[in-house]
Structure 1
Amino acid sequence: MEKSIKENDGISFKELIQKIREWSGFLLSKWKIIILSGMIGGGLGLTYSFLKKPIYTATLSFALEDEKSGGGGLGSALGLASSFGLDLGGSGGGIFTGSNLTELFKSRVMVEKTLLSPVRLDGKEISIAEMYIKNNKWREYWSNNPSLNEIQFLPNANRKNFTRIQDSILGSIYNQLSKSSLSVLQKDKKASIISVDVASENELFSKVFCEALAKEVGKFYVTTKSKKARINMDILEHQVDSIRRELNGAITGVAIANDNTFNLNPALNVRRTPSARRQVDVQANTAILTELVKQAELAKVTLRKETPLIQVVDRPILPLAKEKFGKLKGIILGGILAGFLTVFFLVIRRILNEMV
């Protein structure tokens, strides 16, 4: 029985070798067709390399310096203020750190704010969205549609007043940019250095959009991180102004009361009561104002400490890095792809003929 199995295995192997030789001979007999297809594919690849526009990539990298509060003398002062029920603003937390910050760059809100930022092009101030539409020649496709052709994206326009069509166009631009043009990476988590890459077929657009996006995100980041400390500082400044007005009024009241009791009979002490009351108000308001001024100054220090520093390391500089589809690459890839498809077609056709 084992001998029979070996014989069957030997026959199967021989058949396999025979099939390989048969298919090899078949493909070799079609070498003219395969080579011709490869040449045609190479020509198409060469044509594509001429038609394909180069891709320009703008790269901007920056470092974040986020000084944490709570250390040294300031931390002790904040603890003392908290014991009196005063919240002078603490650390903004890790809301926009690491991957969260990179996702902020890719968020629709930030990208759309950037698209509505102004840019000067050909002596005119337009939005980056209009620049994108012009580069991609969308208005040529909209020429037969008046409802689309009349749409404008003015610089710094109010996003809340946009129509449904404008929302749709901005959404389409955002999808194209986020999928194929925008890349945000944090190369080293310990160093907190973030790199933003914008790739497009227009060199100036890549540079302008990259810088504008970094500016918008930086502004939002700083405002959000220091928001709590800024609110507390504004409240304290308002209280300082209010108490100062009360103190000034109390001082004026003391002077008026003293004028009313000038040369007053010493036996009539009741008439001196308003002056004494106003003096108490002056003393109380003075003590309150002194403490509030201290807390307001401490809040200013906290705000400066909570405001992160964004330091740009590298900016995109013209001319930008250019990636072009090479002619040799087009010929080789086109020839290989066309040859492979031709072989695949010939094999499938022969199999179908044998089945019939």
Structure 2
Amino acid sequence: MTSQILIKNLLDRLNKFKFVILGAALILAVLLYFYVNSLPTSYSIKATVFPLTSGSDNSSASSRIGEILGANGANSKSITDDANVNIEEVAKSRKTREAVALVRLPQFKNKTIAEVLIDNYNKYKSYSAPELATPKDTVALAATGSSLLAGYYTVKINKNSLLEVDFTSKDKDLISPTTYVLIDKISTFYKELKIKKAQYDFDFTQRKVDSFQNLINQYDKERIDINNKSIFVPPSKLQYTVPVENLENKKLLVLAQYNNAVSNREEALWRLQKVTPIIEILDRPEPPFIPVKPSKMVYAFGGFILGLILFSLIFIADILYKYANKQIKSSIDSKLNNQTTA
């Protein structure tokens, strides 16, 4: 069977069953249309939180402090070069989700958010999916609620450095209270981490300042000892000149490091005092909500195209199978003849 004959046979078969193929494709399109129409509508809301701490203020403050103390040399280093607390990771963390999951909502008969999420999962799950039981243990309940909550919201920092929280749920009554709880927990944990890091930076820089101060005091003491020993020595005897110069050089080096450490300490203290909670919500998670549902017409059209392809392949499968078998058999016979001839 040549390729021309194959194409002719395929076209004849498709032409013979064209109405059957069209009818089957239309049935599939209608089924998809009603399936999408039966799906529950999800509702979405976007909340915007302000302010978020920017690193530019810290850098400018560090620069001004360094200029005052003379510590902005080539070797100076500011603690603002360290990684800042990432609020997106705080918002996505399991710790935040578990804390939200255990909060009770008066709107749902004082049930925890985790229990409400489990109820919604069982209400909207597919028929084939197993039912999810509510754990009696608090730890297991928090873990289950955290896992379910992860699929309800997304967070990102927009171009204006504002935190955007997008929350989507099939239950309208769940959206606003859960989003408010989520923002509150994000703010609380973010503030705690910022304070903890700022406190650590301040303690670290304070230890460095104390260490350098001890070295400076030691060099001053050695200098005083040398002066006391050489007070009655004639100027012509310069055996103490070199030790004094060495001490002065060491002290200048440590003094530069001391100034830089003081600059970092003052910056760390400023950052510690500046940490504030991010609780101001610009765009509140309140109605009207945005309905989110797949397009019925898009699914119907896609089902129609898929039906045409699928049922066309079904009706021409036997012709393609016979053609493929004949081609394979011809190839094998050709190889056997060549081997016999050789």
Q: Same fold (TM over 0.5)?
A: yes
Give the whole-Å Cα distance in 2 for the aligned partners of 1:205 and 1:95.
33
8 Å CA contact retained: 1:226, 1:303: yes
Partner of 2:227: none
The 5 A counterparts of 1:1-356 are 16=3, 18-63=5-50, 64-66=52-54, 67-68=57-58, 71=61, 75=65, 93-97=82-86, 101-122=87-108, 124-137=109-122, 148=133, 151=136, 162=139, 166=140, 170-178=142-150, 180-188=151-159, 191-227=160-196, 229=198, 303-307=272-276, 309=278, 311-354=280-323, 355=325
Q: What is the Cα deviation at residue 54 of structure 1? A: 0.9
Instruction: Give, as a single letter, the amino acid of the residue that structure 1 aligns with 2:40.
Output: K
* CA distance in structure 2 between the partners assigned to 1:44 and 1:228 by the alignment: 57
Relative to structure 1, is the Cα distance of residues 74 and 216 closer, same or farther in structure 2, using a 3 angstrom cutoff? Answer: farther
Contact residue 49 and residue 330 of structure 1 kept, 8 A: yes
RMSD: 4.0
TM-score normalised over the length of structure 2: 0.59
Q: Give, in whole Å, the separation in 1 of the partners of 2:38 and 2:3.
A: 46
TM-score by length of 1: 0.57
Structure 1 residues 181 and 229 mapped into 2: Cα distance closer, same or farther (>3 Å)?
Answer: closer
Query: Alpha-carbon deviation of 1:233?
Result: 9.9
Mapped partners of 2:81, 2:114: distance in 1: 32
Cα distance between partner residues in 2 of 1:129 and 1:92:
39
Residue identity matched to 1:103: E
Whether the aligned pair in 2 keeps the contact of 1:55 and 1:201 (CA below 8 Å) is yes
Q: Deviation at 1:224?
A: 1.2
C-alpha distance 36-232 of structure 1, shift in aligned 2 (>3 A): closer
Whole-Å Cα distance in 1 between the matches of residues 191 and 68 of structure 2? 21
Q: Encode CA deviations 1:72-130: one digit per residue, 9 max, x unaligned.
A: 899479979xxxxxxxxx76953324xxx3233222111111111221224x2221111
- Residues 317, 309 of structure 1: alpha-carbon distance in 2 compared, 3 angstrom cutoff: closer
Unaligned runs of 5+ in 2: 71-78, 126-131, 204-266, 327-342
**Which amino acid letter does the alignment assign opposite residue 65 of structure 1?**
T
Distance 2:88 2:200 in 1: 27
Change (3 A) 1:309 1:76: farther
Q: CA deviation at 1:38?
A: 1.1
**How far apart in 2 are the matches of 1:149 and 1:183?**
25
Distance in 2 between the 1:198 and 1:53 partners? 16
**Aligned pairs, number:** 246
Post-superposition Cα deviations, 1:184-223, rounded to whole Å, max 9, x if no partner, equal 22232xx322322122222232333333222211111111
Tell me the equivalent position of 2:264: none
Aligned-partner Cα distance in 2 for 1:118–1:91? 39
Q: Which amino acid aligns with 1:336?
A: I
Task: State the partner residue of 2:211.
Answer: none
* Identity value in percent: 21
SS at match of 2:156: strand
